[in-house]
Chain A
Amino acid sequence: MPITEVRWHGRGGQGAVTSAELIALAAINKDKYAQSFPSFGPERRGAPVQAFLRVGDEPIRVRSEIAEPDVVVVLNPDLLRVVNVTSGLKSGGALIVNTKKSLDEIKSSYGDGFKVATVNAMKIARESIGLPITNTTMIGALLKVSGLLELDDMIGPLEHRFGKVAQKNITAMKRAFEEIIVEGQ
């Protein structure tokens, strides 16, 4: 597998950085190479932020930000109006959006050239975790679309990070994996 580059869009405090990191940790545990980092700078709760994730079977040497991602994950639908989330998204790549809108609606706004997938992560997170925090839910969505790792690979890192509330996050992640609607599938 060549290096897969994933760019996360969220708002400060929504856990985009945590999700990128948890997947990197899980990938490294599976003897893959991985790298995750935030958009660098002061912490800004509520402001649009990015997190970056690279996963591959060979050592990762590039350290620059991900300008041409294979996959874009959008944690918060209101970002679509604020940020050009598909900037640089590779042809044949994938855009995964947390939204209650239909796949067709998102698809019609974002056009061709890459695969679109939608999931109502807010609903899943509210029901499974009891909080409108979608970062762990969207891990399930990413794994379904990208096939980067198995769901079970995430359990260790999630348990380590979230302790008592890990199970709720795992449930949310698995639900997103099941419920996500992927273009052409």
Chain B
Amino acid sequence: MAKKIGLEGSLAISEAVKLSNTDVVAAYPITPQTHIVESLAEMVANGELDAEYVPVESEHSAMSVCLGSSATGARTFTATASQGLELMHEVLYVASSMRLPIVMAVANRALSAPLSVWGDHSDVMAVRDVGWIQVFAENAQEAHDLVLWAFRVGEDPDALLPVMLNIDGFNLSHVTEPVLLNEQADVDKFLPVNRYPLPLHPDKPVTMGAFGPPFIYTEAKKAQEVAFSKSKDVIMKGWDEFEQVFGRKYSPIETYKTDDAETLLLTMGSLSETASLAVDNMRDQGKKVGLLRIRLWRPFPFTELRKAVANTKVLVVLDRCLSIGGPGGPVASEIRSALYDQEKRPKVVSLIGGLGGRDVTPTDFEYMVNRGVEIAEKGSDAEYEMIGVRE
């Protein structure tokens, strides 16, 4: 039986990388992700994990090593955050279009300037369109579980896509909490050996990432797009199988007290646990409030979202990222877009908060609900509003 132990979020991830019998880790340390790759380096050094650990001189190189390694069929992992994610940005596209099932943890952190090592979602929102499957974990248990799932889904012959696992920097990466450490036998049952269909091998040459002149580029992109859309089935199957083996159920969107809710909060990542306390408080006051949490960010769960908000009057979206001069927080604007053609749809209020590690409390979430309802009722000229700004 899986054993419950206290584990830091970062180590919950590295333990899962070990359980996955990962072959190659190439990474550059950056706060707040450092504990993940530090502990992996230790596991490789002391023989706990039989893998090649490649210390590189930058995140650009980290992802480039991952490309080569994954192309040979090696199970490949890396982790990064913030500026590091942006530095590897161009290589992220190569990984997805070459259909390489790399798994990467991102300990979400703000972007400079001013220099901030603290958490928000600015880093990952800048890589929305890179063609990776992307999920957000809520707690250390989920982070631990989703690593296994990420390899399982990414390496599936019907997917062959890289997977990005987002955990909130510090709020998850640096918190010690209870985790059911999965058993190796269960992991082996759930996660088959990586059988990459056309690996690089000196005896059997293949061409990867070839030149794509105008006569073929569009078709190549269409093929990638079709494969990505189809990955939804693999994703769902992965979660079904995960539940069968480990007993924990995951889905694209989580709902909390939404059944009769008139107002819904929507968050991503670890803040949703805090938000659920605000929902409880407001329910006690007789307010019909509920909570949605998007776990699966790419491919975006359109069907599940539309269903979840079908009877909602006001949907208050908290973005931990600013899209300056744009139509609202990145999440809110995507949700507005997803709901625009629905006959019956809630008012979508875009609030921006929790930037650069600003603490968000249950009281803050109660404010968001009240402010969201107020904006929805009175209307507002602004596309979005930043909350908690000291004036």
Contact = CB atoms under 8 A, between A and B. Distances in A.
A68 to B, nearest CB: 10
A34 interface: yes
B199 interface: no
B388 interface: no
B174 A62 contact: no
Interface stretch (A36-44, A74-82, A114-122, A176-184): A36-44
B244 interface: no
B83 interface: no
Contact of B176 (A36, A42, A65): A36
B174 A28 contact: no
Contacts, number: 70
Given A28-B178, A34-B177, A41-B117, A62 B274 contact: yes
A45 interface: no
A29 interface: yes
Contact of A64 (B118, B177, B178, B360): B360
B325 to A, nearest CB: 30
Interface string B158-194: 0000000000001100111110000000000000000
Contact of A37 (B118, B174, B271, B361): B174
B271 A63 contact: yes
Contacts of A24: 6, 176-177
Interface residues of B, number: 27
A37 B175 CA distance: 5
A29 B6 contact: yes
Contacts of A40: 32, 118-119, 170-171, 174, 357
Nearest to A60: B177
Interface in A99-120: none
A40 B35 CA distance: 14
A70 interface: no
Interface string B222-235: 00000000000000
A60 B174 CA distance: 16
Q: Which of B6, B119, B174, B274 has the most CB of A within 10 A?
A: B6
A62 B361 CA distance: 8
Contacts of B277: 61-62
Contacts of A65: 359
Interface string A16-47: 00000100110111010111111011100000
B4 interface: yes
B362 interface: yes
Interface in B101-160: 117-119
A40 B107 CA distance: 13
B42 interface: no
B5 interface: yes
Contacts of B177: 24, 28, 34-35, 60
B259 interface: no
Interface string B1-35: 00011101000000000000000000000011000
Contacts of B350: none
Q: Which of A24, A36, A64, A65 has the most CB of B within 10 A?
A: A64
B363 to A, nearest CB: 9
B70 interface: no
B243 interface: no
B180 to A, nearest CB: 11
The 9 residue pairs across chains A and B that have the minimum distance between CB atoms: A40-B170, A28-B6, A25-B6, A61-B273, A37-B175, A64-B361, A36-B176, A28-B178, A35-B177
27 contacts: A24-B176, A25-B5, A25-B6, A25-B176, A28-B177, A28-B178, A29-B5, A33-B178, A34-B176, A34-B177, A34-B178, A35-B176, A37-B170, A40-B118, A40-B119, A40-B170, A41-B118, A41-B170, A41-B357, A60-B177, A61-B274, A63-B171, A63-B175, A63-B271, A63-B274, A64-B274, A65-B359
Given A21-B176, A40-B171, 20 more contacts: A21-B6, A24-B176, A28-B6, A28-B178, A34-B176, A34-B177, A36-B175, A37-B176, A40-B32, A40-B174, A40-B357, A41-B117, A41-B118, A41-B170, A63-B175, A63-B271, A64-B274, A64-B359, A65-B359, A67-B361
Interface of B: 4-6, 8, 31-32, 117-119, 170-171, 174-178, 270-271, 273-274, 276-277, 357, 359-362
